[in-house]
Amino acid sequence: MPTAHGPVDPLDSRLLTTMRAHPRIGLTELARLLGVARGTVQARVEKLVARGVIGDFGPTIVPAEMGYPILAFVSLQISQGRLAEAVHALSVVPEIIEVYGTSGQGDLLCRVAARSTSHLQEIIARVLASPAVQRTDTTIALSTQIPYRIEPLLHAAAHPGS
Q: What is the DSSP string of 127-157?
A: HHTSTTEEEEEEEEE---SS----HHHHHHH
162 vs 157: which has the higher pLDDT? 157
pLDDT, tens digit, for every residue of 52-109? Answer: 999 999 888 999 999 999 999 999 999 999 999 999 999 999 999 999 999 999 999 9
Domains and CATH numbers, the chain: 10-59 (1.10.10.10), 63-141 (3.30.70.920)
pTM: 0.85
Largest CA distance in the chain: 58
Which among 41, 14, 13 is positioned nearest to 26, based on CA atoms? 41
Query: Is-contact 138 74, C-beta < 8 A?
Result: yes
